[in-house]
Amino acid sequence: MPIKDVFLPLVGQPRGPALAAIEKCVAVAADLGARITALALEDDVFVRPKVMLPDDADSVVTAAAIGDMQLLLNTFTSATSRANIRAQSRSAKVQADQIAAILAEHARFSDVALVPVRPHDSRTEHIVETLMFESGRPLLLCPEQHVDALRPEFENVMIAWDHSARAARAIGDAMPILQAAATVHVVTVADDKTDAIVQSGAALVGHLREHGVYASFETAKGSGSSIGKVLGSWANSNAMDAIVMGAYHHSRLNEIVWGGVTKTVIGQPPCWVMISH
C-alpha cells in the first residue's frame, strides 16, 4: 500500500535544527506525494522565559513575539506552501502528561508518523515510545543533529535484519520506500556468519524480489560493540539515506525498556530511521 497520508507532531522549542527538521519532513511528504497533517501541542502552563542559543539568533525576536507553538506552525505552513502539497494543521494547549498520548491517537489516522528527534532527549524518547506502542503505525525518525545532511529521497536504504517478527513488520510497512529505492542492503550484525544467518538473509532477499526490490545481503561484525552502534557505523560508512528496523526485544516491564539497539538508534539516529513495533 503506498504512503499517502503522513502525520507530523510539533512539540518543543523552535530551535534552528527543529525548524530545519520540519522543512525536511515536509520535503519527504512531497517526495512521497502524500498529504501531511501537523498537530502542534503546547503545555498548558505559564509562559516560560525564552532562552535561545547563539545559532538560533535569527529566530529570537520572532519566537518571543509569536510563541513557540505558533512559530512551529508558521514554519510548517511556509514549507508546505513552497512544496505545494496538500496539508492541514491543528494546535492545542494541553496538560504536559497528555501530549504523547494525544499525538499517538492522532497518528492512528496516518500511514506513517514523521518524528523530529532531538538527540538523547527524554521528552522525545517518551513521545517516540508512546507513538510506537499506542499508534499502531510505523515511525520515520528525523535526526535534528544531522538535518542539514539528510536528503528527502531515500535512494540508498538499509534493512537491519535480525530475523524477528518486528523486523518483518517494519519491512512490510516500509515496502513503498524499499520499492522506490535505487539500492537496498539487508544487514545482519553477527560475528559468525552461520548457515542459519545466511539462509535467513537469502530468504528475505528472495521475498523482496517478489515485490520488485532487488536487495543484497551481508553481515557486519559486532566485535564487541553494541549492535545499535554497528548499524549506525555501517549506515554512515555506506552513505545510507535510511534504515528500516523493528523495535524492542525486551518487555516493557524490563528495567531497560528500550532494549539496547532501539535505545541507541532512537537516542541518536544516524540518518532517517523507519521503525515499527
pLDDT tens digits, residue range 128-137?
Answer: 999 998 999 9
Q: How many angstroms separate the CA atoms of 70 and 118, rounded?
A: 19
- The pLDDT value recorded for residue 27 is 98
Of residues 65 and 144, more confidence is placed in 144
pLDDT tens digits, residue range 198-257?
Answer: 999 999 999 999 999 999 999 999 877 788 888 999 999 999 999 999 986 544 433 333
Question: Is 51's pLDDT higher than 80?
Answer: no
Q: How many angstroms separate the CA atoms of 217 and 184, rounded?
A: 9
- The pLDDT value recorded for residue 247 is 82
Contact 264, 228 (CB under 8 A): yes
- The pLDDT value recorded for residue 63 is 44
- The pLDDT value recorded for residue 53 is 54
- The pLDDT value recorded for residue 54 is 52
Q: How many angstroms separate the CA atoms of 22 and 30, rounded?
A: 12
DSSP letter assigned to residue 1? -
Q: Torsion-angle region of residue 259: left (phi > 0), alpha (psi -120 to 50) or beta?
A: left
For each of the domains in the chain, give its residue range(s) and CATH number, in order of start.
5-149 (3.40.50.620), 156-276 (3.40.50.620)
Residue type for 45, please?
V
Of the pLDDT bands very low, low, confident and very high (cuts 50, 70, 90), residue 75 is very high
What is the mean pLDDT of the segment spanning 119-128?
A: 90
The overall average pLDDT reported for the chain is 88
Contact 152, 114 (CB under 8 A): no
pLDDT tens digits, residue range 135-184?
Answer: 999 999 999 999 999 999 999 999 999 998 999 999 999 999 999 999 99
What is the mean pLDDT of the segment spanning 100-110?
A: 97
- The pLDDT value recorded for residue 57 is 46
Question: Is 55's pLDDT higher than 80?
Answer: no
Question: Is 107's pLDDT higher than 80?
Answer: yes
Of the pLDDT bands very low, low, confident and very high (cuts 50, 70, 90), residue 46 is low
